[in-house]
Amino acid sequence: MSTFGKFFRVTTYGESHCKSVGCIVDGVPPGMTLTEEDIQPQLTRRRPGQSKLSTPRQEKDRVEIQSGVEFNKTLGTPIAMIVKNEDHRPKDYSEMDLYPRPSHADFTYSEKYGIKASSGGGRASARETIGRVAAGGIAEKFLKQVSNVEIVAFVSQIGEIKMDRTFNDPKFQHLLNTITREKVDSIGYIRCPDVTVASDMVKEIEKYRGQKDSIGGVVTCVVRNLPTGLGEPCFDKLEAMLAHAMLSIPASKGFEIGSGFQGVSIPGSQHNDPFYMDEETGRLRTKTNNSGGTQGGISNGENIYFSVPFKSVATISQEQKTATYDGKDGILAAKGRHDPAVTPRAIPIVEAMTALVLADALLIQKSRDFARSVVN
Amino acid sequence: MSTFGKFFRVTTYGESHCKSVGCIVDGVPPGMTLTEEDIQPQLTRRRPGQSKLSTPRQEKDRVEIQSGVEFNKTLGTPIAMIVKNEDHRPKDYSEMDLYPRPSHADFTYSEKYGIKASSGGGRASARETIGRVAAGGIAEKFLKQVSNVEIVAFVSQIGEIKMDRTFNDPKFQHLLNTITREKVDSIGYIRCPDVTVASDMVKEIEKYRGQKDSIGGVVTCVVRNLPTGLGEPCFDKLEAMLAHAMLSIPASKGFEIGSGFQGVSIPGSQHNDPFYMDEETGRLRTKTNNSGGTQGGISNGENIYFSVPFKSVATISQEQKTATYDGKDGILAAKGRHDPAVTPRAIPIVEAMTALVLADALLIQKSRDFARSVVN
Amino acid sequence: MSTFGKFFRVTTYGESHCKSVGCIVDGVPPGMTLTEEDIQPQLTRRRPGQSKLSTPRQEKDRVEIQSGVEFNKTLGTPIAMIVKNEDHRPKDYSEMDLYPRPSHADFTYSEKYGIKASSGGGRASARETIGRVAAGGIAEKFLKQVSNVEIVAFVSQIGEIKMDRTFNDPKFQHLLNTITREKVDSIGYIRCPDVTVASDMVKEIEKYRGQKDSIGGVVTCVVRNLPTGLGEPCFDKLEAMLAHAMLSIPASKGFEIGSGFQGVSIPGSQHNDPFYMDEETGRLRTKTNNSGGTQGGISNGENIYFSVPFKSVATISQEQKTATYDGKDGILAAKGRHDPAVTPRAIPIVEAMTALVLADALLIQKSRDFARSVVN
Amino acid sequence: MSTFGKFFRVTTYGESHCKSVGCIVDGVPPGMTLTEEDIQPQLTRRRPGQSKLSTPRQEKDRVEIQSGVEFNKTLGTPIAMIVKNEDHRPKDYSEMDLYPRPSHADFTYSEKYGIKASSGGGRASARETIGRVAAGGIAEKFLKQVSNVEIVAFVSQIGEIKMDRTFNDPKFQHLLNTITREKVDSIGYIRCPDVTVASDMVKEIEKYRGQKDSIGGVVTCVVRNLPTGLGEPCFDKLEAMLAHAMLSIPASKGFEIGSGFQGVSIPGSQHNDPFYMDEETGRLRTKTNNSGGTQGGISNGENIYFSVPFKSVATISQEQKTATYDGKDGILAAKGRHDPAVTPRAIPIVEAMTALVLADALLIQKSRDFARSVVN
């Protein structure tokens, strides 16, 4: 299904070769100032063709709000948003008629639907994410107004080149406390906030481009200023919803929150986050944040942070020995130039999906807060 | 919310100090042979007190089917299942009245609900998973009948002691092809199929027990014989649903499918899974399975495999410096003996949640298969 | 599916010949005082065997809360409730093995599930409604605390005997303004608040009992003190949810709100409800209430009122010419004594389903109210 | 929420004064031939300005498929459809700035959302139904291919003028067996299949138009050739879903299926539908169809039939004494010419919503059929 969320809910549509892509966002609070200028920046960050590191196709990706907004104020009714498909050039993919591209969704879409879309994997196209990013822009604006929630994602690894992500290292936690989108974008399209590492990452990407190959990466994301109490026991724990959201992004292969995979070898006595009273805010806080901002699936007021690995792009220019749909061995060579590393473009998508999860969890909890306040 | 799934759907209830825990399973196919004996084995595997490695509390955990089954056949109506709470001993937790236990859900439940359950974190209790395991037993039986689907989870890491999980190592793939539950259980409660590693894991756990500490681990799970076409673009990709399910298990901190975090440094030319015709089955298959059994979020007929890290148990016998709910610094010491490593007990829970995801995805796809077959 | 509601959500289970029937209620506000004594009264009103007008079977129907409540306070976690099946006597129905009972669900359940429950229509059994009534008790208590919401249903018609339900008659509107459950129950089990009409209704029922036949009736229900703004455009209008709820009750055949079917012949100039300022409350109100308390699917603060017809009971003691499952003509005679009119027993079920709809709509709207309050 | 359905699912958007209205339809079977020509006819039937009986505004309402279809075949992915808003003329409604129009949704939308859309009742606008009718066109096409399902609605009452709807009259049942859309449309826009009654209805409408007033009506709808087994116990009974759908249509005030409100005074012995073997089809059928095609909420293979009352249009040209939002008494006079009876235009909307309910129920049941077929 193409719907995500319960109260703050997005339904997306569109594949790469149809008239338009977009979404309907339901459950947007009424009376919120909103224009296309709130939505466009993240769409522009998501767009291919931003630098020589990415694919040279030029897509305009201008969002048009269709409904739910009058005089720049949301009505509380569904907001439909459309982005026209302009530069699709379906002819480029003709060989696909014979070959399911390895590690693309061509084969599985064919198995699932019994029909081949001209783009092969229909909704597996990266263009599907436009609707998500547009919806995320609204969710982010709402979250910002609630409690100045900040969501910042960055590239923490490309191939073998990585930033230190040791969860219990104060330097890493300091980075999470201070990183901004401006900082992330300041070094360029690579979107890694460490100048030296970023430079090595660019070289890594160029190396694989030279080999007509591709390479993956990891995106790390932090959420600051989130209220406590978000996340629904027991199946819709906040980290469960975030994991769901992240694994729904094309090419993602995992998720870890807080100490994640590293944490399993740290004993409980060190892993536990002890409490202290924060005199400034008068709130109970934790001295460490190995949990990554949730306990029992519920936000505890500390930073939420998590990482998501993205596999190497499946479309490569070099030849691949594979088989046709009919099972005949052969060699597939993708035409045209291809983006050797899409991880930097995943940044606004990760941020958008995070915002969608949080806006939904917040609305659900606020309904409970009301109920709490009236019963006895 | 305490409901998981769309068609094959479980709703669980219960915390550790109430009369019973259990679930209602809706959408179970009618006419399926089912008795409590189909459900009990995994509940027994989940139960604490199975060995000296685990907590010494004795829980009986006998499931009682309430509805939806007559003469050992499912009616197609909701199946309610109950497990009585017998050995709860609420007094053990009295100090909790003052202290939110570090890295437990006491604090967040209090923030969310504004009320303290006598167990602290209410539904964050491990007993909540009983309903999941009971429901999973039904899902597994159904999947087995559909296409002999096999789901096997095992402990692949405890603390620093780990089995080799190199995704593109033929030995690891061979293990995934051949591992059985019998093999997993044969070495004992540790549930690691490698005798040598298992022995080291036991020592690792004993070490932390001796230190009144706890230690985490990783569970790896494989699904074999799953039909192609399962998983719903674009938000309910099969891996997204699995990630959601896994991160909803208490103490889990992550998820990776196929190449996961490792895969980001393998270039596309090596990461892509090329196709070949499998003469024996007449099906198009992939030579490698770096994808972990899905492409574009849809099952491709290869093994699904994934890993889930579980953090070190938060309840430890040693003293912890922390603060009370009121913000006063103090020292919390948990009474009684505690399980230093719960990862082995997570095995049947991981298997159950996997079965629930797959049964639901299968029913959804089968409805589409029908529709495909009648239109033109 | 056996789940109703989005936030305040009930999942029911059980048929007439299994161990127990009951439900899980999710989304109950935390911190609310709740005991079995809050639930039992409506279950007792629902119970068969209350008078000679109803079936002589004696069912005890004592509810047992399993979870979600400690020290008489709700925890905010799912509340499971169980009512044991004691007096089922499955042998009574043996002829059903050959005959699908006319206008029962035996045939359709058999078509749907391919299996015959020993009660014939499985979940079509009236015992299924126990879970609804139990859940409704919680919803009602919540609504009462929010704004003293009052829900009162009564029998307005049995067979040809009817109270005047002319929607725009001030006497009828006065009745709606003043009717209480005490008044409804004061005349006896017939649950019609008009003494004279009630007396005729009893005679009507006795007439059909004497003929070994059955007769239907109409239930009218009013909701007072409901806040404005409840109901979700465009598909989950408040009246749409109420209609859904009412038509889900066994034997109901319709629904009308406000002017209903009568209203179509009243021109707009008379049907429209003009506004005036109510000086006492300072609220804009309507002079008439032909709309029945909603406009555009959203509550306007006036009384919600609606009526629901219940068909004559399908189980009758006289012989019926019909056919077996195999298609052989024959005569079916139900054994035992049967309730000739179940409409009075539908009263607490109608009230419960109404409460469930309203509690859910209220929680949804309160989440929006919060959102409205923070954005600009 | 603006989403309807579980598997065959439509999400609509748009109000009367935004750029476009439309919908996303998810769960459409792949491989189905589909063009805009399949969708447009019902949209054209829904369109205002079809005859002098309706409003003179000319709307073009051309649907544009955005996605999910290639080379006239559905891909199985979401189908977005857009209809541009061309002739909205928002200035006509200026007086609304002061007055909430009686029995319109202006007041309740204002209460719910705290913001006034320029159309007053935002999504309560009849234009919202365009998305429903477009989606219904796809659902109908699918149902036709499954088992030649036929859905025909007609106007059975306008004001006091009515066709005989006696449910157990063979003439009425014959009408339900034979009525076609061609027949319904043949007499003109009034959409009543009885020439004499239709003529009186037109006079009735003209009478109220002359009085600058409006009048309501009843739509009756029949579904033929529906498979058995559709409808989900216990909350999503087929009639519950239909009632939900019908009451979600603007201006509808009720629903009755089969014998409905009439049936309550017919004793069980006459109301019950006895079975017989239909030699022609080899199926068990019922001699009468007082149930209206379902038992226990599940389709039994007989005709589904139901009626829906639509209140008199709230917008009338004559002056109305009412109050402003601020509570000041005054007189509101709507400008322009208005449609005195919209019941005929409700026909395609009733048909569309019916199709959406049935397509969803069918897909759900087919998934169960599969499951039944593999278990033992």
Please indicate whether, in this complex, the C-beta atoms of A371 and C363 are within 8 angstroms of each other.
Answer: yes
Question: Where do the domains of chain C lie, and which CATH numbers do they carry?
Answer: 3-375 (3.60.150.10)
More confident residue, B56 or D201: D201
- pLDDT for B372: 86
CA distance C354 to chain B (A): 22
Mean pLDDT over C140-156 rounds to: 97
Please indicate whether, in this complex, the C-beta atoms of D12 and C234 are within 8 angstroms of each other.
Answer: yes
- Distance between CA A151 and CA A353 in Å, rounded? 10
CA distance B131 to chain D (A): 22
**pLDDT tens-place string over residues B13-41:** 998 889 999 999 999 999 999 999 999 99
Mean pLDDT over D52-78 rounds to: 82
Which residue has 């005199």 as its token pair? A279
A186-200, C318-332, D57-71: least confidently modelled range: D57-71
- The answer to whether the bond into A18 is cis (omega within 30° of 0) is no
Please indicate whether, in this complex, the C-beta atoms of C370 and A363 are within 8 angstroms of each other.
Answer: yes
Question: How far separated are the first and last CA of chain D, in Å rounded?
Answer: 40
- pLDDT for C89: 47
- CB neighbourhood size of D41 (10 A): 13
Residue D7 with chain B: CB contacts under 8 Å: 364, 367
CA distance B242 to chain A (A): 8
- pLDDT for D16: 84
- pLDDT for D89: 47
Residue B24 with chain C: CB contacts under 8 Å: 2, 11-13, 24
Which chains contact B through at least 3 pairs of Cβ atoms less than 8 Å apart? A, C, D
Residue B250 with chain A: CB contacts under 8 Å: 296
Q: Encoding tokens for residue A235?
A: 């199946």
A11-25, C78-92, C267-281: least confidently modelled range: C78-92
Confidence check: pLDDT of B92 > 70: no
D88 pLDDT band, cuts 50/70/90, is low
Residues of D recognised as catalytic:
17, 104, 339
Q: Is the dihedral of CA B255, B258, B262, B265 positive or negative?
A: negative
Residue C301 with chain D: CB contacts under 8 Å: 111
Confidence check: pLDDT of C186 > 50: yes
CA distance B94 to chain C (A): 15
Please indicate whether, in this complex, the C-beta atoms of D11 and A1 are within 8 angstroms of each other.
Answer: no
Residues of A recognised as catalytic:
17, 104, 339
Which residues, listed in sequence order, are joined to residue C69 by a DSSP beta bridge? C74
- pLDDT for D59: 52
- The DSSP output letter for B289 is -
> What number is the ipTM of this complex?
0.96
SS3 B201: helix
CA distance C32 to chain A (A): 5
CB B52 within 8 Å of CB C6: no
**pLDDT tens-place string over residues D294-334:** 999 999 999 999 999 999 999 998 999 999 999 999 999 87
B210 shares contact with chain A (CB less than 8 Å):
no
B2 shares contact with chain A (CB less than 8 Å):
yes
- pLDDT for C77: 94
- pLDDT for D96: 60
CB C86 within 8 Å of CB B31: no
B45-49, B60-64, C86-90: least confidently modelled range: C86-90
Residue A217 with chain B: CB contacts under 8 Å: 264
The partner residue sitting opposite D366, judged by closest CB among B31, B367, B375, is: B367
Residues 242-281 of C with CB under 8 A from A: none
Mean pLDDT over B292-300 rounds to: 97
Residues 23-52 of B with CB under 8 A from D: 27, 29-33
A58-72, A77-91, C295-309, D271-285: least confidently modelled range: A77-91
**pLDDT tens-place string over residues A311-333:** 999 999 899 999 999 999 999 98
Which chains contact A through at least 3 pairs of Cβ atoms less than 8 Å apart? B, C, D
Q: Encoding tokens for residue B116?
A: 């303290």
Q: Encoding tokens for residue A256?
A: 């870890």
- pLDDT for B51: 65
User: What mean pLDDT value characterizes chain C?
Assistant: 92
CB B286 within 8 Å of CB B275: yes
Residues 227-246 of B with CB under 8 A from D: 233
Please indicate whether, in this complex, the C-beta atoms of B295 and A103 are within 8 angstroms of each other.
Answer: yes
Which residues, listed in sequence order, are joined to residue C151 by a DSSP beta bridge? C223
- pLDDT for A91: 47
Mean pLDDT over B44-71 rounds to: 78
Nearest residue on chain A to C72, alpha-carbon basis: A376
CA distance C367 to chain A (A): 4
Residues for chain B: how many in total? 376
Which is catalytic among the residues B88, B104, B106, B360?
B104
- pLDDT for A175: 98
- Distance between CA B111 and CA C109 in Å, rounded? 46
Confidence check: pLDDT of A1 > 90: no
Most confident segment among A16-20, A225-229, A331-335: A225-229
Which chains contact D through at least 3 pairs of Cβ atoms less than 8 Å apart? A, B, C
Mean pLDDT over D187-210 rounds to: 95
How far from D240 is each of A26, B3, C11, C294, D251, CA to CA, in Å? 24, 22, 16, 20, 19
- Distance between CA D274 and CA D258 in Å, rounded? 15
Q: Which amino acid is at B213?
A: D
CA distance A229 to chain C (A): 12
The partner residue sitting opposite A29, judged by closest CB among C6, C364, C372, is: C372
Mean pLDDT over C323-350 rounds to: 90
Q: Encoding tokens for residue A124?
A: 């597996």
Residue D371 with chain B: CB contacts under 8 Å: 29-30, 142, 363, 366
CB A74 within 8 Å of CB A90: no
- pLDDT for D91: 47
CA distance C189 to chain B (A): 31
B55-69, D161-175, D251-265: least confidently modelled range: B55-69
- pLDDT for B123: 83
The partner residue sitting opposite A375, judged by closest CB among C32, C364, C372, is: C32
For chain D, give the percent of residues with pLDDT over 90: 82
**pLDDT tens-place string over residues C201-210:** 999 999 999 9
B112's CB contacts (< 8 A; 6+ apart) are: A228, A229, A231, A298, A365, A368, C76
D22 shares contact with chain A (CB less than 8 Å):
yes
- CB neighbourhood size of B301 (10 A): 21
**pLDDT tens-place string over residues D11-38:** 999 988 899 999 999 999 999 999 999 9
Nearest residue on chain C to D271, alpha-carbon basis: C312
CB D341 within 8 Å of CB D205: yes
The partner residue sitting opposite D268, judged by closest CB among C113, C269, C312, is: C312
Mean pLDDT over C235-261 rounds to: 98
C51 pLDDT band, cuts 50/70/90, is low
C90 pLDDT band, cuts 50/70/90, is very low
**pLDDT tens-place string over residues A85-103:** 975 544 445 656 889 999 9
Confidence check: pLDDT of C34 > 50: yes
**pLDDT tens-place string over residues D155-181:** 999 999 999 999 999 999 999 999 999
B80 shares contact with chain C (CB less than 8 Å):
yes
More confident residue, B366 or D88: B366
D49-53, D235-239, D365-369: least confidently modelled range: D49-53
Which residue has 């439309």 as its token pair? D22
**pLDDT tens-place string over residues B65-81:** 999 999 999 999 999 99
**pLDDT tens-place string over residues C158-176:** 999 999 999 999 999 999 9
A161 pLDDT band, cuts 50/70/90, is very high
More confident residue, D255 or C317: D255
- The DSSP output letter for D281 is T
Q: Encoding tokens for residue B257?
A: 């499918």
A117-131, A307-321, D70-84, D303-317: least confidently modelled range: A117-131
A363 shares contact with chain C (CB less than 8 Å):
yes
Residue C111 with chain D: CB contacts under 8 Å: 228-229, 298, 300-301
B244 is catalytic: no
For chain D, give the percent of residues with pLDDT over 70: 93
Q: Which amino acid is at D35?
A: T
Residue D291 with chain C: CB contacts under 8 Å: 103
Q: Are strands C150-158 and C294-295 parallel, antiparallel or unpaired?
A: unpaired
Mean pLDDT over D93-102 rounds to: 78
Q: Which of D16, D213, D196, D19 is nearest to D117 (CA)?
A: D16
- Distance between CA D184 and CA D174 in Å, rounded? 15
- pLDDT for D52: 58
Which residues, listed in sequence order, are joined to residue B198 by a DSSP beta bridge? none
Mean pLDDT over D29-52 rounds to: 88
Confidence check: pLDDT of B323 > 80: yes
Confidence check: pLDDT of C54 > 90: no
Residue B33 with chain D: CB contacts under 8 Å: 375-376
A214-228, C53-67, D18-32: least confidently modelled range: C53-67
Mean pLDDT over B172-179 rounds to: 98
Residues for chain D: how many in total? 376
- Distance between CA D263 and CA D168 in Å, rounded? 9
Phi/psi at B243 (5° precision): -65, -45
- pLDDT for C339: 85
> CA dihedral in degrees (D134, D151, C242, D10; nearest 10)?
-20
More confident residue, A261 or D189: A261
D7 shares contact with chain B (CB less than 8 Å):
yes
Nearest residue on chain D to A125, alpha-carbon basis: D77
Q: Which amino acid is at B222?
A: V
- pLDDT for B91: 46
Nearest residue on chain C to B24, alpha-carbon basis: C13
C131 shares contact with chain B (CB less than 8 Å):
no
